[in-house]
Amino acid sequence: MTPVDPSAASLQPQVAQLNAEYARAIDDDRLEAWPDFFAEPCLYTITSADNHRQGLPGGLMYADSKGMLHTSRTGLTDVKAELALTADRLGNG
């Protein structure tokens, strides 16, 4: 087992809070707030499971700056809707 860096362990509550706020913003469709969770520069990609398994870089969404995230948030809405439809089709929704 790898020893845990005490300074990293002390950040765990803050990281958990950030993750909860991030998920809540997406779940509540507050997408105007979504890019604010990222630093500049940033890299955000959404890749299908099939592309990931095959090592293909093409994905559903790609942004390498907060500006791209701001202009791509409608894309996130579309991806979120598609994921919900897929979950429903698979019986996981």
SS3 content of the chain, % helix, strand, coil (to 5): 60, 5, 35
The answer to the question of residue 33 being in a domain is yes
The CATH number covering residue 61 comes to: 3.10.450.50
Residue 16 structural domain? 6-90
- Residue identified by tokens 């950030």 is 18
Each residue of 27-42: pLDDT tens digit? 898 888 888 999 999 9
Each residue of 32-71: pLDDT tens digit? 888 899 999 999 888 888 888 998 877 777 889 988 888 7
The answer to the question of residue 1 being in a domain is no
Record the pTM: 0.58
